[in-house]
Amino acid sequence: MNRLEAMDAFARVVKNGNFVSAASELGISPGMVTKRVQRLEATLGAKLLSRTTRRLSVTEIGRRYYKFCDRILAEMQQEDREIRRLQHDARGEIKVLSPMSFGIMQMGKLVSGFMAAYPDVQVSLTIADATKRVLDPVEFGADLAIRFSLKKDSTHYLRRLGTLHWIACASPAYLQRSGTPAAPDQLVNHSCLVTHTRFGDGRWLFKGAQGPQTVQVSGPVSPSNAITMRYMVLDGAGIALLPTFAVADDLRSGHLVRILQDYEIPDLPICALYPHANEQPRKVKLFVDFISKQLRHAPWD
């Protein structure tokens, strides 16, 4: 028995004073209303209504239970209205999960822009180390997670937001000291910084006029994230493959120099991962749309 349906049927019978009107409001037959009330009485082990051919009356226990049903059903209706409001209004809190380097260097700016456009929405941004665990929004209690992969390792919904471009770069001081490689195969003679997050095995992939080319590189250190690697490259520690969001300002200022410009490094997708495709609150949909629009014209590219 659906307890709430039975409680609703009983409460409507009491309010209307008969089974026929209650059945009409519920869109079911009077016989079905009778069955629901009888099952409720059987579950409670108490008589709620006294029925004769001429008269319907509420028992003492029935009057008490009616007050309880009326309160519970009213609270449920109020909560339903509140949930619908939260689902459709651009207000409330959004919890967002982001990889470390991108979260620290770029997500703050994106979140600030969104909150300026939608001041009734508060964004809680959690930055986590994606090298140690998969950023699953459910595990972290988040509405969505930013990911750099199209791989679906769960039942979550994945939406592509933009593209993460990569370049090879070094500091002017390092290039002056060690020379500038003209082709990927010359990297074997250079100090290369290998991150744990991508190309962790030291096999760097390039695509040029002659097609794809893989080079096995090595270096003195292996930074665990793009932020650490950026600082080391700026200090002249060697050559690195880095996403443009991490080094755009350094390239503009001349503190870093892009090398091997005739060769492309495979891009990565920037995606939003969230649990449900069609049941997202409006505030989450607005956030994803806003981030997608910003990433299509990313200032670091």
pTM strictly above 0.75? no
Q: Are residues 112 and 131 in the same domain?
A: yes
Residue 301 lies in a domain: no
pLDDT confidence tier of residue 152, bands split at 50, 70 and 90: low
Q: Read off the pLDDT of residues 206-218 as tens digits, 9 standing for 90 and up.
A: 998 888 989 998 8
Name the least confident of 43-57, 107-121, 159-173. Answer: 43-57
pLDDT confidence tier of residue 89, bands split at 50, 70 and 90: low
d(CA 121, CA 117): 9
216: left (phi over 0), alpha (psi -120 to 50) or beta: beta
Q: Are residues 115 and 178 in the same domain?
A: no
- Beta pairing partners, 212: 207
- CATH number for the domain that contains residue 287: 3.40.190.10
Closest among 283, 240, 257, 63 to 175, alpha carbons compared: 257
Q: Are residues 99 and 132 in the same domain?
A: yes
Residue 214 lies in a domain: yes
Dihedral sign computed on CA atoms, order 250, 252, 254, 259: positive
Identify the three-state secondary structure at position 128: strand
Q: Are residues 31 and 99 in the same domain?
A: no
Instruction: Give residue 34's domain range.
Output: 3-88
Q: Read off the pLDDT of residues 216-235 as tens digits, 9 standing for 90 and up.
A: 988 777 777 888 889 999 99
Dihedral sign computed on CA atoms, order 78, 79, 81, 82: positive
Q: Are residues 71 and 112 in the same domain?
A: no
Number of domains in the chain: 3
Six-digit token pair at 150? 């199209």
